[in-house]
Amino acid sequence: MYNSSAAFSSSNTQYKNRLFVYEVEGLSQNSVNTQVPIRSSGTVFITVPYNRMNQEMRRINSLGGKVISIKPAGGDLPEQNSQPAPQQQAASNNKKSMTQAKPKKEKKKVPVNTYRPKNPFVGKCTEIYDLVDEGGIGTCRHMTFDLSSGDPQLEYIEGQSIGIVPPGKDEKGKPHKLRLYSIASTRHGDNLEDKTVSLCVRKLEYKDPETGDHVEGVCSTFLCNLNPGDDVAITGPVGKEMLLPDDEDANVIMIATGTGIAPFRAYLWRMFLEGDKNPDYNYTGKSWLFFGIPKTENILYKDQLEEMVSKNDNFRMDYAISREQKNSEGGRMYIQHRIAEHADELWEMMQNPKTHTYICGLKGMEGGIDEALSAAAAKHDVDWTEYRKAMKKQHRWHVETY
Ligand SMILES: Cc1cc2nc3c(=O)[nH]c(=O)nc-3n(C[C@H](O)[C@H](O)[C@H](O)COP(=O)(O)OP(=O)(O)OC[C@H]3O[C@@H](n4cnc5c(N)ncnc54)[C@H](O)[C@@H]3O)c2cc1C
């Protein structure tokens, strides 16, 4: 049983600014403020700032709940790969003897840099199609490359990126440097044969601020102009920041702008579409996608995403369509406004150590998201920056912006 004197002793002045997580049993869903989810084990996790620990303990007691463990938020939360605390271990050992323990699943090693820029793999484009409907802004294409002739074959897992080395030379006469692209397919590839990789690429186009010339990005233009049969120099895979947790019951919050949808397409296809192909992964958590785009015609993978929402109760999606929807102040609806609308619910979800948050897309989108979540955290006297750092330490906060 948890020894409360340890957490409350006066020698703990070092904890002043810290957050703690109570694991509580005996609360009903109605008695927990707002929507902290009651887990199947019957316990609930509540984050409490140091200066409110006594008060929260009294509140829990008055609701008939019992605190069964207290841990600092910041590394010690029960995680998928962490060792349980001794008292939890004892409890779980008891449980295991009553029920059949699940067989241990084989964990796939994360492949990294199978191919490097000096010796890239040259794969053929097998398919390329438009993702922006008529009337939308800009060009964005989905493209697939055949990996089957690789020796070794380039393998990857959801959340990784590959490098593309565009042909030709830069203005200094040197070969172009590689550009990274988030992988938009699952490890099985779009045709489920484990031999392709797909990307979602926006063609970079802008007006040179000095000359006023129309400029097209080197690599994104090369990729968007590909035809099936064309060769592409590929490196990687790289990246461990955006990997999905192994837990099938993890909750996954995804916040994307534009092509930031790419890794989330891979996650969602793995969670909801591939079924039999993933006997080791039967997703049962809750996932929630926030997707920021300028116009309806720019909703990448729209039909498939909406079909997935309609078929899966545990997948929810909210768009922020900046040029069509208005925020509460009458301005354009950007992703941070949509997050602000749901900030309390997101905050409560994040209290659960099984909730992971992923942000991908435009550089600079984090600021508005932080602002929205700060307001929700402040209602609980929690400093959002500290909380976010704790989540990062627990590998529950993942950002890839560019
Ligand atoms: C981890 C990671 C994942 C990525 N995933 C994707 C993805 O899934 N899909 C995708 O489309 N992209 C993705 N990118 C971006 C991609 O790597 C390239 O940066 C992008 O395609 C542009 O490359 P380019 O060669 O076309 O442009 P370049 O020819 O390299 O031109 C880019 C340069 O143009 C200049 N520039 C750009 N915009 C402006 C402007 N408005 N005004 C003035 N100058 C400007 C800047 O100097 C910039 O560095 C990702 C990047 C990273 C780091």
For the domain covering 4-92, report its CATH number.
3.30.1490.170
Residue range 165-191: average pLDDT?
A: 97
Task: Assign 67 a pLDDT band (cuts: 50, 70, 90).
Answer: confident
Q: Which residues are known to be catalytic?
A: 181-182, 360, 400, 402
Residue range 18-41: average pLDDT?
A: 69
| Topology adopted by domain 121-238 | Elongation Factor Tu (Ef-tu); domain 3 (2.40.30)
pLDDT for the residue numbered 218? 98
pLDDT for the residue numbered 29? 64
Task: Assign 50 a pLDDT band (cuts: 50, 70, 90).
Answer: confident
- The predicted model scores a pTM of 0.82
For the domain covering 251-401, report its CATH number.
3.40.50.80
Asked if 254 and 264 count as a contact pair (C-beta separation under 8 A), the reply is yes
Q: For residue 380, is pLDDT > 90?
A: yes
Measured CA distances, 380 to 21, 28, 47 (Å): 13, 20, 9
Q: For residue 16, is pLDDT > 60?
A: no
Q: For residue 6, is pLDDT > 90?
A: no
The atom number, within ligand 1, closest to the CA of 184 reads 8
pLDDT for the residue numbered 101? 53
Residue 248 CA to ligand 1 centre (angstroms): 34
Q: Is ligand 1 within 6 A of the CB of residue 197? A: no
More confident residue, 37 or 376: 376
User: Could you give the CA distance from residue 185 to residue 217 in angstroms, rounded to a whole number?
Assistant: 23
Measured CA distances, 281 to 123, 244, 245, 284, 358 (Å): 29, 11, 11, 9, 20
More confident residue, 12 or 261: 261
Residue 205 CA to ligand 1 centre (angstroms): 10
Residues 53-62 have pLDDT tens digits of 878 888 888 8
Residue 212 CA to ligand 1 centre (angstroms): 19
pLDDT for the residue numbered 43? 83
Residue range 10-18: average pLDDT?
A: 51
Q: Is ligand 1 within 6 A of the CB of residue 181? A: yes
Residues 258-282 have pLDDT tens digits of 999 999 999 999 999 998 898 889 9
Q: Is ligand 1 within 6 A of the CB of residue 369? A: no
pLDDT for the residue numbered 80? 38
Q: Is ligand 1 within 6 A of the CB of residue 73? A: no
The atom number, within ligand 1, closest to the CA of 204 reads 26
More confident residue, 51 or 351: 351
Q: For residue 3, is pLDDT > 90?
A: no
Residues 163-175 have pLDDT tens digits of 999 999 999 999 9
More confident residue, 14 or 250: 250
Residue nearest to atom 11 of ligand 1 (CA): 201
Task: Assign 161 a pLDDT band (cuts: 50, 70, 90).
Answer: very high
Residue range 128-147: average pLDDT?
A: 98
Residue nearest to atom 33 of ligand 1 (CA): 217
Task: Assign 371 a pLDDT band (cuts: 50, 70, 90).
Answer: very high
Q: Is ligand 1 within 6 A of the CB of residue 219? A: yes
Q: Where are the domains of the chain?
A: 4-92, 121-238, 251-401
Residues 329-367 have pLDDT tens digits of 999 999 999 999 999 999 999 999 999 999 999 999 999
Residue range 55-79: average pLDDT?
A: 73
Q: Is ligand 1 within 6 A of the CB of residue 198? A: no
Residue range 296-320: average pLDDT?
A: 98
Residue 245 CA to ligand 1 centre (angstroms): 28
Residue nearest to atom 7 of ligand 1 (CA): 181
